[in-house]
Amino acid sequence: MSWSRKDLLDIQSLEPEELTTVLDTAQAFKAVGQRAIKKVPALRGKTVINLFIEPSTRTRISFELAAQRLSADVINFTAEASSLKKGETLKDTARNLEALNADFIIIRHSAAGAPHFLARVLEVHVVNAGDGAHEHPTQALLDVFTMREKKGRLAGLKVTILGDILYSRVARSNVWALRKLGAEVTLCGPPTLVPPAFARMGCRLTHNLTEAIADADIINLLRIQHERQRKSMFPGLAEYTRLFGIDRARLALAKPDALVMHPGPINRGVEIDSDVADGDRSVILEQVTNGLAVRMAVLFLINGGKAPPPAPPATPAPDAP
């Protein structure tokens, strides 16, 4: 199936076939990252602008590298939402970037819906790199990509997402992607942070860790964001770790081939113990590698590229320049 959307705004509105197209395309791009020359000319002469109104060094770098490896030119535009508001609306900023003949705007914003708004008012391609507590579609795509690669399938896979579900765009996008692709999803965390509404999406909800991980194939941990958690909703950090932190003993309650995932950056000793993070059941760093492949695939597809993509390796550069 080929791709026909101008933008990547969320997972919710995608068809299962579209998700599969991204995953298959990403598989081909993953190979590019392992070549001696990690570059393809697909977006040569195109301009990608990273519009990061909420700071995120890792996601920004992943998109920046994805664009570079597609041979695009990349511009970083980072700003505090507050200072932006002072002088200029988001729409004006974005339309100015479009007027520079930009081809892609990758937006990270603290307000849910900001990417959708831009997609409506702009003609350039818009990619959501995380909007408030709404969605983070490329994170979900790299997560399901990793699961499919490791477990060989998504249909029927048992995935447990653990942590602050309520405020997590990662959880929200993961649930959409997993349900569309036929996985069984369990959400687990403190009662205040697991909204009952997710049951309507076919998720199992629980506040009991042992029950949540007993038969899971995948345990996807969410990052505890010290600074963001609301005091009234969130137990203390030590309390959270005691109830929901994953260490070696807890992991022993899961199936012997259950894998541990985390969107990063990890808080060692809080939601994940170092034994687990660095153990052979963790695929956390592979998620990072896969994120690059998924983002290359997304940029390639919304630019109109046809899947399946990259074929033969580029000619290596001569050793002596």
56 near a second copy (CB under 8 A)? no
- Four-CA torsion 200, 204, 208, 211, nearest 10 degrees: 170
User: Contact between 169 and a second copy (CB under 8 A)?
Assistant: no
Taking the least distance from each CB to a second copy, the nearer of 206 and 289 is 289
3-class DSSP state of 145: helix
Q: How many CB atoms lie within 10 A of CB 83?
A: 10
65 contacts a second copy (rule: CB under 8 A)? yes
Tokens of 176: 């959409």
Q: Kindly report the backbone phi and psi dihedral angles of residue 305, in degrees, each rounded to the nearest multiple of 5, phi listed first.
A: -65, 150
Task: Tell me which stretch binds a second copy (CB under 8 A): 46-54, 145-153, 209-217, 231-239.
Answer: 46-54
Looking up tokens 């791009």 gives 29
| DSSP state string for 2-19 | ----S-B--STT--HHHH
Question: How far is 134 from 168, CA to CA, in rounded Å?
Answer: 7
Q: What CA–CA distance (Å, rounded) separates 208 from 244?
A: 9
Interface with a second copy (CB under 8 A), residue from 7, 54, 64, 271: 64
- Residue 191 or 318: the one with the smaller Cβ distance to a second copy is 318
Binding region for a second copy (CB under 8 A) out of 60-68, 157-165, 176-184, 205-213: 60-68
Helices and strands, counts by H and E, the chain: 12, 9
Asked if 37 interacts with a second copy (CB under 8 A), we say yes
- Using the minimum distance from each CB to a second copy, give the nearer residue, 89 or 210: 89
Site for a second copy contains 214 (CB under 8 A): no
Q: Please say which residue, 186 or 310, places its beta carbon nearer to a second copy.
A: 310
Where in 122-161 is the site for a second copy (CB under 8 A)?
A: none
Contact between 61 and 118 (Cβ < 8 Å): no
One of 6, 95, 150, 250 touching a second copy (CB under 8 A): 95
Amino acid at site 19: L
Q: Would you tell me which residues interact with a second copy (CB under 8 A)?
A: 32-47, 49, 57-58, 61-62, 64-65, 68-71, 73, 75, 77, 79, 87-89, 92-93, 95-101, 264-268, 285-286, 288-289, 292, 300, 304-306, 308-311, 314, 317-321
